[in-house]
Amino acid sequence: MGMNVSDAPLFPFKRSRPFDPPELYARARAERPVFPVTLWNGQRAWLLTRQQEFRAVLTDPRFSGEFARPDFPAVTQARVAIDKGERAFVGMDNPRHGHYRRMFTKEFTARRMNALRPRVEAITADLLDAMAKKGAPVDLVEALAVELPSLVMCELFGSPYEDHTFIMNCAAGRHGLKQSPEEAHRTARALVDYCRRLIESKEKSPADDMLSRVIAEHVVTGALSREDLAEICSMILRAGHDTTTNMIGLGTMLLLQHPDQLAELKRDASLVDSAVEELLRFLAPVQFAPRRVALEDVEIGGALIRRGEGVFALTPSANRDEAVFASPDTVDLHRDASQHLTFGYGIHQCLGQGLARIELQVVFAMLFERFPNLRLAVPAEQIPYKDDMQIYGVYRLPVAW
């Protein structure tokens, strides 16, 4: 390919195939794994395309994850507006990150998440019943992929179900690649305002939910301000809705396009846990994260990253690293995909990954058990993909059975 350091193409790149990352990622892994790019504002940034450098940077204190820094990298101008307004711990370094995150970790323990599994199964069963009652064709995104995470987050958070469309729209509004900075900022603030009102409601009428417990334990004691809780509440709500929704829609589409692998899953129900890990590895819906900025000149993977230059640790590329996964561009539900980095790495690893896994395990077990003949209701080429979003997925998925 003849990659030299003066070649710093404009990032992000386009996909040529819907389930695969841009082709340049694989070439970069082979020839220049820490690859220079140019961002929308002319800023130099670097792509980490292999797991080795991905893990190294995310545990290196010479790189910052502070969104508010003026040199923090972003793929669009709108994203800069969102980053500057982000006040939850997702955009902080330690020790502030750890201070806030610790207040929520016990709400996401394996024990607490597993206790939710029967409720997730009941919600899924109800949604599949509603699909069957409505009759084919059904848009699986609308009927299942959006509804399940919304209902589960309502259960966890104690937010009213009728608000879920608003929450989803706010989450999606943060992730577009084409909206204006003003639109992005307005959408982000709208969800924080919503969370302020939800907190006020919970203070007046506490219930057995995460928000009520956090208020009692940390807000009432003065350890956490209501404003900080509103910011964190917004972060958890949007994360719990948007990424899982996209994994359900995109994962179902992938399985329908790989009938041999789907047949394996239908034949052996015990395969579902490893199937979910492989889907997470292969699809990696968060396209341009995690991100960092160098606090000093650092040499990584043969590249000199200058102070103030941004870094994109590319999950979709690291999950296709040939040094970690044999035949990484092949879907194999029997594979041990546990080394995937879809939930991040280091201190910012996804807090809700246990819940996301449970939702996906339940969905992919129950969906094909209930509808063993599930199929696309339109030609595959008519499925609209989210090429204009930072979190990848499908907009619609019409199915029949």
pLDDT tens profile 196-206: 999 999 999 99
Q: How confident is the model at residue 186, as a pLDDT?
A: 85
CB-based contacts of 383: which residues, under 8 Å, 6+ apart? 18, 253, 376, 394, 396, 397
Element (H, E) at 235: helix 226-257
Tens digit of each residue's pLDDT (9 = 90 or more) over 84-141: 888 899 999 999 999 999 999 999 999 999 999 999 999 999 999 999 999 999 999 9
Task: Identify which has the larger pLDDT, 184 or 90.
Answer: 90
Question: Do the beta carbons of residue 222 and residue 363 sit within 8 Å?
Answer: no
Task: Give yes or no for residue 278 having a pLDDT over 90.
Answer: yes
pLDDT band at 311 (very low <50, low <70, confident <90, very high): very high
List Cα–Cα distances, 93 to 45, 96, 130, 265, 367, in angstroms. Answer: 20, 6, 44, 41, 40
Query: What confidence category does residue 6 fall into, taking pLDDT thresholds of 50, 70 and 90?
Result: low
In this prediction, residues 308-321 reach a mean pLDDT of: 98
Please tell me which residue, 241 or 250, carries the higher pLDDT value. 250
Lowest mean pLDDT among 122-131, 188-197, 314-323, 334-343: 188-197
Residue 340 has pLDDT above 90, yes or no: yes
Residue 129 corresponds to which tokens in the numbers above?
């019943």
Tokens of 221: 């004691």
Cα 117 to Cα 119: distance, rounded to the nearest angstrom:
5
Task: Give the C-alpha separation, 139 to 146, whole Å.
Answer: 10
Q: Indicate the range of 185-199, 244-258, 299-313, 359-373 predicted with least confidence.
A: 185-199
Query: Which has the closest alpha carbon to 390: 214, 171, 187, 143?
Result: 171
Per-residue pLDDT tens over the stretch 68-82:
999 999 999 988 888
Q: How confident is the model at residue 227 (pLDDT cuts 50, 70, 90)?
A: very high
Tell whether the model's pLDDT for residue 400 goes beyond 80.
Answer: yes
Q: How far apart are the first and last CA of the chain?
A: 46
pTM > 0.75: yes or no: yes
Query: How many percent of the chain have pLDDT more than 90?
Result: 84
For residues 195 and 159, give the distance between their C-alpha atoms in angstroms, rounded to a whole number: 9
* Calpha distance 373→172 (Å, rounded): 31
Q: Which two three-digit tokens encode residue 248?
A: 């359900």
| CA proximity to 393, closest of 221, 276, 246 | 246
Q: Is pLDDT above 70 for 241?
A: yes
Per residue in 154-165, pLDDT tens?
888 888 888 888
Phi then psi for 227, rounded to 5 degrees?
-65, -45
1.10.10.350, 3.40.50.410, 1.10.630.10, 3.40.605.10: CATH of 23-400: 1.10.630.10
pLDDT at 218 over 50: yes
